[in-house]
Amino acid sequence: MRPWLLGLIACLGLGSCSATGALAALTATPAVAASRDLAYATGPCHGLDLYRPRGSGPHPVVVFFYGGSWDSGARRDYRFVGQALAAQGYLTVIPDYRLYPEVRYPAFLQDGAMAVKWARDHAAQYGGDPGKLFLMGHSAGAYNAAMLTYDKRLLRAVGLDPAKDIMGLVGLAGPYDFLPLQSGTLKTIFGPEAQRPATQPINYVDGDEPPALFMHGWNDKVVEAPNATRMAARIKQKGGRVETVFFDRLSHPLIVASLAWPLRFLAPTMKTASSFIDREAAS
């Protein structure tokens, strides 16, 4: 393996933002056009970047939420995800959302709902198909996407119904059932202990949701893989549709990094996600 690639993987394993910038530069492609700094609501944290495939649409639409423990992260660090998904033929939206300490639960989810509403309302303007809308996320972003899918109150507050308006959910290394909380910061973000069960995606599953795909690395030391197995078991118990895929050697940051073409040898993360999206969009 080339030394520069080994160095990039090492930096990504440490969660380096400079590494994500390098990955974005490496994965830039003329097959993708970007529209940056679009506003889905007022305020400095309510911007989004949009990545458009070349060619005539309408294209399936993917709204991707990044992670960062709900207290860090920025859409600019995930250009490589937007480029990678758009290169697969998806109109990709990556929004920012407010973070702790500015806000606590559920404000970042309300931001996410507004971003999804914007994506559905504006998809056709950018060559997307608003009737083929998917939610996707990594880590805390996978949690956000899951809550928007399973806690129906969130999207209904902006005039959407996840059972009708969302075609599928793709979660990468997501925390879906992570009580009891250990971190003092997370305890503050998610509020008093008596209210915390209401913050968990697993407690909203009723079987009337769009199909889900959960991918996780067994080498994840940040969010344990049983989050995905427990969530999938609950969905199946309720009669819903779900797929789970686990990768032996992927750590928490590398599962999202492996979406980019230079790192796809690590695991077929993109192939698995695109197969799911294409199948559900065709249905």
Q: Is residue 193 part of a domain?
A: yes
> Is 68 part of any domain?
yes
Res 12: pLDDT = 54
Whether residue 12 lies inside any domain: the answer is no
Q: What is the DSSP letter of 8?
A: H
22 inside domain: no
pLDDT given for residue 5 in this prediction:
44
What is the percent of the chain where pLDDT is above 70?
A: 89
| pLDDT value, residue 15 | 52
| Tens-place pLDDT, residues 9-39 | 544 554 545 566 667 666 666 668 999 999 9
Q: What pairs with residue 49 in β-bridges? A: 94
Q: Which residue has the higher pLDDT, 250 or 17?
A: 250
Over residues 195-201, mean pLDDT: 98
User: Which CATH number covers residue 40?
Assistant: 3.40.50.1820
SS3 content of the chain, % helix, strand, coil (to 5): 45, 20, 35
Confidence (pLDDT) at 14: 47
| Domains contained in the chain, number | 1
Q: Is residue 250 part of a domain?
A: yes
pTM score > 0.95 for this model? no
Q: Domain for residue 16, yes or no? A: no
Domain span at residue 122 reads: 28-282
Check pLDDT > 70 for residue 233: yes
Question: Residue 91 burial (CB < 10 Å; 0-12/13-18/19+)?
Answer: buried
The pLDDT assigned to 56 comes to 82
